[in-house]
Amino acid sequence: MSRIGKNPVNIPSGVTCQIQGRDITVKGKNGELAAVISREVEVTHEGEQIIVKPLNDSKEARQLWGTWQKRIENMVVGVHEGFTKELEIKGVGYRASMAGSSLKLQLGYSHDILFPIPEGIKVNCTTPTEVVISGYDAQKVGQVAAEIRAFRKPEPYKGKGVKYKGEYIVRKEGKKK
């Protein structure tokens, strides 16, 4: 039995949800998200809740039960509140700034990196060493944060690079004489 899948998804006020066949559409103040539900699970809209159940007792249906409950919950939370990811930049001369509709990153390379911001995502540089990524689609927000972090991952000796806020970097001891 899925511990995640058995929990119903509560729909807050201001959010509308429509289920037509295998399509689900969630609308809220931040935007609209749609998805095509797997054939292994059944989704029903009862009052102010969405209930996800597996269609049979197969392994795939039980795996997708919790997955689809969480995806639908992320859709509801995204259109109602939104998601944010914060990145920290550490290193001498490493910084970020906005350049029009692109994020300009200076990460110790011979050239600056211009990262085009996808549609539906907002990027804000609160300080030159902090980047805040926000949006209503959890997958897109996480993907953009991962792509920015991949330009210069934090290294284990000095901890320089781009990391998630609150991420702990395991440090290594340097070379001994």
pTM, whole model, 2 decimals? 0.88
What residues contact residue 57 under an 8 Å CB cut-off, 6+ apart? none
Per residue in 115-150, pLDDT tens? 999 999 999 999 999 999 999 999 999 999 999 999
| Exposure string for 36-60, b = 16+ CB within 10 A, e = fewer | ebbebbbbeeeeeebbbebeeeeee
Superfamily holding 9-80: Ribosomal protein L6 (3.90.930.12)
Confidence of residue 2 (pLDDT cuts 50, 70, 90): low
- Determine contact, residues 66/5, Cβ cutoff 8 Å: yes
Domain boundaries, the chain: 9-80, 83-164
pLDDT of res. 177: 78
Same topology between domain 9-80 and domain 83-164: yes
Q: What is the mean pLDDT of residues 49-69?
A: 91
Q: How many CB atoms lie within 10 A of CB 153?
A: 12
Q: What is the mean pLDDT of residues 57-63?
A: 89
**Which tokens hold the place of 151?**
């330009």
Per residue in 76-116, pLDDT tens? 999 999 999 999 999 999 999 999 899 999 999 999 999 99
When the pLDDT of each residue in the chain is averaged and rounded to a whole number, the result is 92
Superfamily holding 83-164: Ribosomal protein L6 (3.90.930.12)
Whole-angstrom CA distances from 97 to 19, 39, 105, 126, 142 are: 42, 45, 7, 9, 20
